[in-house]
Amino acid sequence: MPKQKISILGSTGSIGVSTLDVIARHPDRYEVFALTAHTQVDKLFLQCQQFQPQYAVLSTPELASVLQERLTLHGISTIALYGAQALCDVATATECDAVMAAIVGAAGLPSSLAAAQAGKRILLANKESLVMSGQIFMDAIAKSGAVLLPIDSEHNAIFQCLPGSYGRKIEHSGISKIILTASGGPFLNRAVETLNDVTPDQAVAHPNWVMGRKISVDSATMMNKGLEVIEAHWLFGAPADQIGVLIHPQSVVHSMVSYVDGSVLAQMGNPDMRTPIAFGLAFPERINSGVASLDLTKFSQLHFRQPDFQRFPCLGLAYQALRTGGSAATILNAANEIAVEAFLAGRLGFRQIESVIEECLNQISSVSLNDLAAILEVDGQARRHALSIVSQVGVQ
């Protein structure tokens, strides 16, 4: 059987690193075609040294030049490229069989959508692609015949718990509800009135998962779960009222599907992203991910509770955007990215993140989105508006 050639978009992030770990365990099955990073030249060089991809992509010509010089000096044949078009090129190349879409945020949309339009096997870890483009992305998948496999642990769990013949027709599948689990992040039990004083370092200290700083803040506000609710809507064809969220601090049950006959199917495992990554790489087969089997004897109890929307208003804002439709989710995502960036830079308080998002949703009208250009226009508008709000309110 020929090796699958994989392009990893965002290879220096946590998902990218975990993907390379799984690939390294199966050199007979997988070969790295391309690796991409934003600015981490040193880390990308070491990855190129180990995996010898055909291409490596960075964000600027200057960084690509630095990488190319180092690659040449060490006799590595990898070609260094740069820019957004290069990301799309390595995601759509004829030689590429599968794409791990793991670029964080809106920056990952153009290349993910290009892979969908090119009919690739897409391992989707960039939830913003679906949050922003929704119907456009799913239409591209249907038209090209691309294979879309969710890598977020929650959506991967749901995928595993759905009927094998599921075709995004929830009303014909005996499903009553899709249930996303959430750890609750680092502030689940902290007094709400003290959340104004949260520091960036406290917000990124996730109790169960090792993630990037932006995603860790999203977990602390539960915007991450809100974005996942919107992603679940597009992945599984479920309306907002049939997508629920349960707080599950142990992060052992990754998500569930509730059926009309009273059955609830859950996917369980240790909190390690290599499990869904291995599932996506090998589907419909199963391969060793490097993750230890779950030892249930270590858990005397598993806890679940409903989310508190006063503690986590960002989750409520995501549901609001989903129900509004149109460009509301694009506005939500853009405002959140700007607000989180400002918080991490010390220019915005933790509880001001939700205020920036809410104001953007209330002040920018939702419109229909028909193509990538329209999505990016709304995204830019929302970012500019969010930046103006941040500059006015600042840290209080």
Instruction: Determine the Cα–Cα distance for residues 134 and 121; give it in Å rounded to an integer.
Output: 18
What is the side-by-side order of every strand in the sheet holding 264-268?
243-247, 175-182, 253-259, 264-268
Residues facing residue 57 across a β-bridge: 36, 81
Location of structure tokens 């595993």 = 160
Instruction: Determine the Cα–Cα distance for residues 229 and 158; give it in Å rounded to an integer.
Output: 12
Q: Give the Å distances, CA to CA, from 32 to 6, 42, 124, 214.
A: 5, 18, 17, 27
Instruction: Determine the Cα–Cα distance for residues 126 and 8; give it in Å rounded to an integer.
Output: 12
Domain 4-151, CATH: 3.40.50.720
**Residue 209 pLDDT:** 58
**Residue 208 pLDDT:** 61
Where do the structural domains in the chain lie, given as residue ranges? Answer: 4-151, 325-396
- Neighbour tally for 278: CB within 10 Å: 25
* Single pTM value for the model: 0.92
Instruction: Determine the Cα–Cα distance for residues 268 and 183; give it in Å rounded to an integer.
Output: 14
Instruction: Determine the Cα–Cα distance for residues 393 and 360; give it in Å rounded to an integer.
Output: 14
**Residue 394 pLDDT:** 61
Cβ 85 vs Cβ 110: under 8 Å: no
With 0-12 / 13-18 / 19 or more C-beta atoms within 10 angstroms meaning exposed / middle / buried, residue 98 is: buried
Q: How many CA atoms lie within 13 A of 305 on its CB side?
A: 10
The token pair at 163 is 């009927």
Cβ 341 vs Cβ 386: under 8 Å: no
Cβ 33 vs Cβ 95: under 8 Å: yes
* 325-396 topology per CATH: Rna Polymerase Sigma Factor; Chain: A (1.10.1740)
Helix, strand or coil, per DSSP, at residue 82:
strand
User: What is the full per-residue pLDDT of the chain (396 aa) written as tens digits?
Assistant: 789 999 999 999 999 999 999 999 999 999 999 999 999 999 999 999 999 999 999 999 999 999 999 999 999 999 999 999 999 999 999 999 999 999 988 889 999 999 999 999 999 999 888 999 999 999 999 999 999 999 999 999 999 999 887 878 888 889 999 999 999 888 888 888 888 888 888 888 766 655 678 888 998 999 999 999 999 999 999 999 999 999 999 889 999 999 999 999 999 999 999 999 999 999 999 999 999 999 999 888 899 999 999 999 999 999 999 999 999 999 999 999 999 999 999 999 999 999 999 999 999 999 999 999 999 999 999 999 999 999 987 654
